[in-house]
Amino acid sequence: MSLENFSLDYFSLTNKVAIVTGGNTGLGQGYAVALAKAGADIFIVAHNTDWDETRELIEETGRSVHFYQADLTVRENIHQIVEECLRVYGKIDILVNNAGTIRRAPLLEYKEDDWNAVMDINLNAVYFLSQEVAKVMVEHKSGKIINVGSMLSFQGGKFIPPYTASKHGVAGLTKAFANELGQYNIQINAIAPGYIETANTAPIRADEERNAEILSRIPAGRWASPADLMGVMVFLASKASDYMNGHILAVDGGWLAR
């Protein structure tokens, strides 16, 4: 890229195709809408079929959206997801590994089933879907894989040991994939959101003491909304970030700076 050649077109995703897991609610919905607004057609993978609102938001941008119901923890579904996206759109330019889950309990009481459930969706699904999509991207020597980490990619937290382990793992996979796939012009980076106003964080925000404790540490002085992550998603999915690889980008209102 030369200084003369750079333009805002580098941020355009016109005619790109993006797979977004868990893209029908919360942050995933924001990511999907952001990519559509930048010009991409969207293939959303979701465990449930509550996607009317997301469909409307994306179709308002003038882009196409296709929904595919699947359990990402079932290995057989991974190949089918990729095949269906290729059938519908003919290519895959962007993968956003957003789907995730969290289960809370004190460490000494944490159940094995809960550990496995969190690791299966937060880490194993990220690995296997990224691996399958990478096979397609390598053929075309182009692609963007964007993982979703967390503040718990950097910190330990409490009452969520598998969530912390999985998000540290997401950071590790991001770097490992970048090392192997960079030679094929494929960039793998991760977003690490701070405290976001979503359904998952509603119980914490409802706890006045805990909410005040969190806000006191955020220099921005507020929780983020999904819209605060939209620009970063477009950047990481676009040509503008072509020389950025293996990075975990915190969008946290300054949380880690404290």
Query: Which residues belong to the active site?
Result: 163
Backbone torsion region of residue 66, taken as left when φ is above 0, otherwise alpha when ψ lies between -120 and 50, otherwise beta: beta
The 8-class DSSP code of residue 90 comes to S
d(CA 206, CA 188): 35
- Count the neighbouring beta carbons within 10 Å of the beta carbon of residue 164: 21
CB burial class (10 A; 0-12, 13-18, 19+) of residue 1? exposed
Three state DSSP letters for 142-195: CEEEEEECCHHHCCCCCCCHHHHHHHHHHHHHHHHHHHHHHHHCEEEEEEEECC
d(CA 15, CA 40): 6
State which amino acid sits at residue 40. Answer: A
At residue 176, what are phi and psi to the nearest 5 degrees? -65, -45
